[in-house]
Structure 1
Amino acid sequence: MRYDLDDLRLFLHIVGEGSITAGARRTHLSLPSASARVRALEHHAGVDLLIRGRRGVRPTPAGSTLARHAREVLAQTARLDSAVASYTRAPAVPLTLLGGSSAMHRLVPRALVTFLRAHPDVDVTASESRTPRTVRMLTDGAADLGVVVDDEARASGLRTEPLGDDSLVVIGQAGGILAGRATIPYSEVAEHPLVGLDTGSALRRWIDKHVGPHAPVARHRTTVAGLNVLVALAAAGVGLAVVPRRVVDPGEPVDVCALEDPWARRRHLLAWGVKAEAPAAAVTALADHLRRAALAEPPGADA
């Protein structure tokens, strides 16, 4: 037999309220109309669905089974309606968010999780990008927001705001060659075997740009694509690693040593682009989620 969705909704309201009168009211039907629908439903089912009493109604075993399946059917119908309706909306221009290796490690993913959940109709294209390229794209209107390094974006003319510390540190196996030290110059770090990010990554390019021509040529035992793997290799004693302090969790089994070099002290800025197509409200909301993500960094990340 075929079930009418409106009849199923009515039946669920009646069961939920324990009254045909109350169920009729919930579905904006008259009592005679609601009663007729229930009788027709029972006729088609070939079994009584409600036990009628002086103080209301309650479902029979068959009625309880119908109610349980009716809830599932109506829930599936609602999901179907939502899925189909998504194709009727005009597609919005995706927001474009850029950031370097450090920002893409934890800050941007954390912000995307909360933003995309809160804004199901807005899409975001997030890509790793070095600060000079990010600044160009923001200036040219090819991106909406960027997480950039302060000294490379300070004179860009873009609207910026502080987002958090992104200073670099050296990490190594706990109890290893960094044990008992608070600071170390990069020239000494480079005398030891290192593990690093791939040469095309934003962080690796930053380090190579700033170490200068007189620094020892570092020996990288291996290079990897992600900071998670890099931290794990350093913790295992494969080599020292230069990473942003913010990516090292407080409970990580590594020794952490600040770099003495001035170029290692840097800060993240949130930079706004001039992209005209993007809805201003969505860009503002994404910026707010990035601020919250920055504030949620683990204790010690901004030390």
Structure 2
Amino acid sequence: MRYDLDDLRLFLHVVEEGSITAGARRMHLSLPSASARVRALEHHAGVTLLVRGRRGVRPTPAGTTLARHARDVLAQVARLDGAVASYCRRADAPVRLLAGGSAMHRLVPQALIAFLREHPDADVEVRESRTPQTLRTLADGAADLGVVIDDEAGDADIRTEPLGDDSIVVVGQAGGILAGRTTMSYREAAEHPMVGLDAGSSLRRWIERHLGPHAPAARHRTTVSDINVLVALAAAGVGLAVVPRRAADGDGRVEVCALQDPWARRRQLLAWGPGEPGAAVTALAAHLRVAASV
């Protein structure tokens, strides 16, 4: 059987209103036209769908079943329309960029400054997002670019390319307990007072997921939402901090010590949404590559 979507919409309106007249009004149809459509739908289904009465109509058991499935079909059609429409964007639509907390520290701001200066007519929507959510959003066509972490990207069916190193290190006050050290395990770092990111941050959640349930219990003297503040606290000797290397490179206030744990070595990937990217998307991607190479 083949059902016309407008007939299904009309039937749902009739059932919801309890009246063919009211259902016709919602579909902007005349009463004779709506009645003919409902009768044709019953003929097509081969069963009576409505019980007519002086006070209106009500669905038969078959009509109730049809209405339930019609709602599902029309909801699926709406989702399909939305997914396809996400590929059709205005030329002046903002570029949509997603990135994790680590990339938001230096990489994204540096790329944004250069891009927005070079393209005064372009706009960018930026949102922090963890890698799994970023990949889903890109696959759905609801974002243009994403900065994701390699070990979480897996076999995602989207286009990616290497972007840069994003290894995790431990930092502490210059001349402090890390002086002269080049490597350290997280377990050893956790024996000292620490400062950390808020529990809801994407980087904190990533680290805790890789530490697993048997991670050493670290004493966090405080937690903050900003990586710059975290590094400043470590530089002041408040505690050790676990941060991306990029956050501490070139900062003479802190000692930087590589973490020996395998999970600490990670790379960022540039991920693309589906379809052919526009000029603005391509240009922003180029600026992200440059920022990652600095």
Work out which of the residue numbers 284, 289, 292 in structure 2 matches 1:291. Answer: 289
CA contact (8 A) 2:174 2:252 kept: no
Q: Partners of 1:123 and 1:201 in 2: how far apart?
A: 26
User: What amino acid is the match of 1:140?
Assistant: D
Q: Partners of 2:262 and 2:204 in 1: how far apart?
A: 17
Q: Partners of 2:114 and 2:126 in 1: how far apart?
A: 14
- SS where residue 170 of structure 1 aligns? strand
- SS where residue 255 of structure 1 aligns? strand
Residue in structure 2 matched with residue 168 of structure 1 by the alignment: 168
Residue in structure 1 matched with residue 127 of structure 2 by the alignment: 127
Residue in structure 1 matched with residue 240 of structure 2 by the alignment: 240
Q: Displacement of 1:249 after TM fit?
A: 3.2
Q: Displacement of 1:95 after TM fit?
A: 1.0
Residue in structure 1 matched with residue 278 of structure 2 by the alignment: 280
User: What amino acid is the match of 1:256?
Assistant: V
Q: Percent identity?
A: 71
User: What amino acid is the match of 1:214?
Assistant: H
Q: Which runs of 4+ in 1 moved over 3 A?
A: none
Q: Partners of 2:252 and 2:130 in 1: how far apart?
A: 27
Q: Summarize deviations over 1:246-273 as a string: whole Å, max 9, x none.
A: 1113142111111000000000000001
Q: Say if 2:125 is the partner of 1:115.
A: no
User: What amino acid is the match of 1:249?
Assistant: D
Alignment of 1:1-303 (within 5 A): 92-274=92-274, 280-296=278-294
Q: Partners of 2:205 and 2:240 in 1: how far apart?
A: 17
Q: Across the two proteins, how many residue pairs are aligned to each other?
A: 205
- SS where residue 162 of structure 1 aligns? strand
Q: Partners of 2:155 and 2:164 in 1: how far apart?
A: 19
Q: Displacement of 1:174 after TM fit?
A: 1.4
Residue in structure 1 matched with residue 78 of structure 2 by the alignment: none
Q: Partners of 1:268 and 1:223 in 2: how far apart?
A: 25
- SS where residue 215 of structure 1 aligns? coil
Residue in structure 2 matched with residue 75 of structure 1 by the alignment: none
User: What amino acid is the match of 2:268?
Assistant: H
Distance 1:125 1:275, change over 3 A: farther
Distance 1:205 1:275, change over 3 A: farther
Q: Displacement of 1:154 after TM fit?
A: 3.0
Q: Summarize deviations over 1:164-198 as a string: whole Å, max 9, x none.
A: 00000000011222122111111111121111111
CA contact (8 A) 2:171 2:240 kept: yes
CA contact (8 A) 1:138 1:275 kept: no
Instruction: Provide structure 2 residue ranges, at least 5 long, that are not aligned to the other structure.
Output: 1-89
User: What amino acid is the match of 1:280?
Assistant: G
TM-score by length of structure 1 reads 0.65
Q: Displacement of 1:128 after TM fit?
A: 1.1
- SS where residue 179 of structure 1 aligns? coil
- Largest Rg, 1 or 2: 1
Q: Partners of 1:155 and 1:200 in 2: how far apart?
A: 26
CA contact (8 A) 1:143 1:275 kept: no
User: What amino acid is the match of 2:281?
Assistant: V
Q: Partners of 1:272 and 1:258 in 2: how far apart?
A: 31
- SS where residue 152 of structure 2 aligns? helix
- SS where residue 106 of structure 2 aligns? helix
Q: Displacement of 1:275 after TM fit?
A: 6.3
- SS where residue 110 of structure 1 aligns? helix
Instruction: Provide structure 1 residue ranges, at least 5 long, that are not aligned to the other structure.
Output: 1-89, 297-303
Distance 1:232 1:128, change over 3 A: same
TM-score by length of structure 2 reads 0.67
